Amino acid sequence: MTDDGGHQSGTGNGTGSGHNNKRDDIIQARLKSGELKLYELEKELAPIDAIRVRREYIEQETGSQMENIGIFSIDVERVVKRNCENMIGTIQVPLGVAGPIAIKGGYAQGDFWLPLATTEGALLASVNRGCSAITRAGGAEVRVLHDGMTRAPLFATESVVHAAEVCDWVAAHREELRAAAEATTSHGKLTDIVTFVAGTSVFVRLEFDTKDAMGMNMVTIASAKVADLVAEGTGARLIALSGNMCTDKKPAAINAIMGRGRSTVAGVALSHELIAQVLKTDAKTIHEVNYRKNFVGSARAGAMGFNAHAANVVAAMFIACGQDAAHAIDGSTCITTVDLTDTGIYVAVTLPSLPVGTVGGGTSVETQQECLRILGVAGSGDPPGTHARKLAEIIAAGVLAGELSLLGALASQHLARAHQKLGRG
242-258 in b/e form (b: 16+ CB < 10 A) is bbebbbbeeebebbbeb
Residue 291 vs residues 70, 96, 337: alpha-carbon distances, Å: 48, 31, 8
The C-alpha atoms of residue 271 and residue 346 are separated, in whole angstroms, by 9
- Number of Cβ atoms within 10 Å of the Cβ of 3: 13
419 belongs to the catalytic site = yes
Q: Which of 59, 120, 165, 182 is catalytic?
A: 120
Q: State how far the Cα of 334 lies from the Cα of 310, in Å rounded to an integer.
A: 7
Which of 24, 182, 324, 339 is an active site residue? 324
Q: What is the DSSP letter of 9?
A: P
Q: Which of 162, 187, 414, 419 is labelled catalytic?
A: 419
Distance CA 256, CA 335 (A): 9
β-strands 201-209, 140-151 pairing: antiparallel
Identify whether 25 is a catalytic site residue.
Answer: no
Query: Exposure of 338 by Cβ count < 10 A (0-12 exposed, 13-18 middle, 19+ buried)?
Result: buried
Would you call 191 helix, strand, or coil by DSSP? strand
Sign of CA dihedral 161, 167, 171, 176: positive
Q: List, in order, residues 6 or more apart from 281 with CB less than 8 Å away.
A: 275, 408, 411, 412
**Contact call for residues 263 and 333 (beta carbons, < 8 A):** no
Q: Contact 115/320 with Cβ under 8 angstroms?
A: yes
Is residue 339 annotated as part of the catalytic site, yes or no?
Answer: no
User: What residues are labeled active site?
Assistant: 120, 324, 419
